[in-house]
Structure 1
Amino acid sequence: MRLLVFLLLMLPGLSFAQEATAVTASVLDTLTPLKADQFIGIDPYNNIYYLKGRALFKAGMNQSIQFSDLRLGEISTVDILNPLKITVFYAETQTAVILDNTLNEITRVTFSELENFRNISHALTARDGQLWIFNTDLQRLELFDYRKKRILSDFLPQPDNALDLASDFNTCWVLTANWLYQYNAYGSLISKQAIADFDSIALYDEQLFVLQNGELFAKAKTQNSLYPVKNIPESGFQFYYKGGILYLYRSAFISYYNLNLPK
């Protein structure tokens, strides 16, 4: 009986909250023009990060700087969780580049050149000197120390490879075709939830967001409910969230919204 109760707690499906409990965004009277291929986000110092061509740009009040390495191909993801150690991942060449706050290179890891060769599909910032990576050969999440070039924690294999990862220093969410997994940095599975038709996930300020068919949802922290975010464009935007502000990039402008999120 105890095992059955445990499984029921571990395997609940995410449910969509009713319209009455939607999260309503309040638009602020602020617009920032931006010409970008992809909006990445805004750091605590209000620097804007974005991709244009094969370059990462950081634009502040007085200057704009950039990083690029054309030999590595297209940039797959940029993680600005720690703006002093930014993770830029190139899936094509299996390379993660760590940059400082001036976009100068600190170090890089080419996973295909490591002694214990592995193919990875995602790489995101974890704790200091570590990366969350998804090993597609073994179909599992791993915590990788890029200074010592070794795995610190590995996780139980999954039946499917990851479609998307969302993480902070201590937690990583893994999205597959049918499941959403949550792990901690000690290698433990915290939750496994049945899902359907999720396009992507993001974790900002410990808040999980989900995109489904172009619509944005916020997950309640204390229950398995997804709340639609209302009063924003229906689709065709890129977003970031920080300090109670939702930033939406659409039609060459960043717009700003107050967002009171579910508990």
Structure 2
Amino acid sequence: MKNAILFFWLLPFSIYSQDIIETTHIKTTDFNTNKIVAIDNFGTIYHLNNNTFYKKSTSNTISYNNLQLGEVTTANAFNPLKINLFYRDFNTVIILDNRLAEIFKIDFNDRQPYKNVTHLSNGFDNTIWIFNQDTQQLELYNHKNNTTQARSLPIQNKVLDLKSNYNQVWLLTSAYILEYNYFGNLISKTPNTGYTKLEENNGNLLLLKDNKLFYLKNNSDKAIPISLPNLLIKQFFVTNETLYIYQNQKLQQFQLKIN
């Protein structure tokens, strides 16, 4: 009986014991580019430099550029077989295969109904998640048959960032972190206490606030600070439990110690 009482007394402490996520520095690599988009499990680096998109593996480097469309606003390599490049100034998306050959072009200016897109992320099959500024709605858009398969209610606050995987999508707004399923239904709403950017990894979120990173586990509303040395965090993302931070032409690699 005494052991049972002790177990239940300690249980809340074991559940909520991780007040900070420790990290171990793995290595620092010199890397000169404008923006790193992703690093996969095989060490392939997807990055943007001088408005050219690169895929750099251990064996070779290939590239893609489209000078007619101006600057790449965002790039997404979550699905390496369908990489998407978003050119906001021209309201256009280019989809590339794993050899960076163009397989689809979506010009929203020529499509009806017209969509004024400000943010974009990957979807499943032939879909992408877009934020339509004119309607203030998140849409799951099928670019092959020009249909919207899911649509959220209008968003009341300014959208700061958009990330997704095959099953979920997150909108970071000035007031909330909004999570939706692939039907466009809102499944969680967490107050934004100053976060300006987010990244997704296996349903968990990394959040940037005041040059510090926080980890928000799936199905939790408590963001846990990540212990890091004093770095200027230009970019960050996670592959499995490896945290990458890019700043000052240095790619820093850390192991996250997550309970």
> Quick check: 230-239 or 115-124, which moved more?
230-239
Alpha-carbon distance in 2 for matches of 1:259, 1:153: 35
Contact 2:233–2:245 (8 Å) recurs in 1: no
Hey, which bits of structure 1, 4+ residues long, moved more than 4 A?
Answer: none
SS in 1 for 2:68: helix
Amino acid at match of 2:116: N
Structure 2 equivalent of residue 23 of structure 1: 21
Report the number of matched residues: 244
Q: Deviations over 1:221-250 (max 9, x none)?
A: 242111111124343331221121111212
Structure 1 equivalent of residue 61 of structure 2: 64
Alpha-carbon distance in 1 for matches of 2:148, 2:218: 30
SS in 2 for 1:27: strand
Structure 2 equivalent of residue 200 of structure 1: 197
Q: Deviations over 1:177-218 (max 9, x none)?
A: 111111000121101122132111111222211111111111
Amino acid at match of 1:130: T
Q: Please, what TM-score do these two structures have when normalized by structure 1?
A: 0.88
Alpha-carbon distance in 2 for matches of 1:137, 1:19: 45
Larger relative contact order (C-alpha < 8 A, sep ≥ 6)? 1
> Quick check: 231-240 or 249-258, which moved more?
231-240
Amino acid at match of 1:178: A
Structure 1 equivalent of residue 222 of structure 2: 225
Contact 1:131–1:146 (8 Å) recurs in 2: yes
Contact 1:41–1:239 (8 Å) recurs in 2: no
Larger Rg: 2
Alpha-carbon distance in 1 for matches of 2:76, 2:82: 9
Alpha-carbon distance in 1 for matches of 2:200, 2:166: 11
Structure 1 equivalent of residue 147 of structure 2: 150
Give 1:97 deviation, angstroms.
0.8
Alpha-carbon distance in 1 for matches of 2:160, 2:173: 5
Alpha-carbon distance in 2 for matches of 1:234, 1:256: 12
Contact 1:43–1:80 (8 Å) recurs in 2: no
SS in 1 for 2:90: coil
The answer to whether the aligner puts 1:239 opposite 2:211 as a matched pair is no
Unaligned runs of 5+ in 1: 1-17
Alpha-carbon distance in 2 for matches of 1:173, 1:84: 22
Counting only pairs closer than 5 Å after superposition, residues 1-263 of structure 1 correspond to structure 2 as 21-28=19-26, 30-261=27-258
Q: Please, what TM-score do these two structures have when normalized by structure 2?
A: 0.89
Amino acid at match of 1:180: I
Give 1:20 deviation, angstroms.
6.7
Alpha-carbon distance in 1 for matches of 2:109, 2:159: 19
Question: In percent, how many aligned pairs have the same letter?
Answer: 28
Give 1:23 deviation, angstroms.
0.6
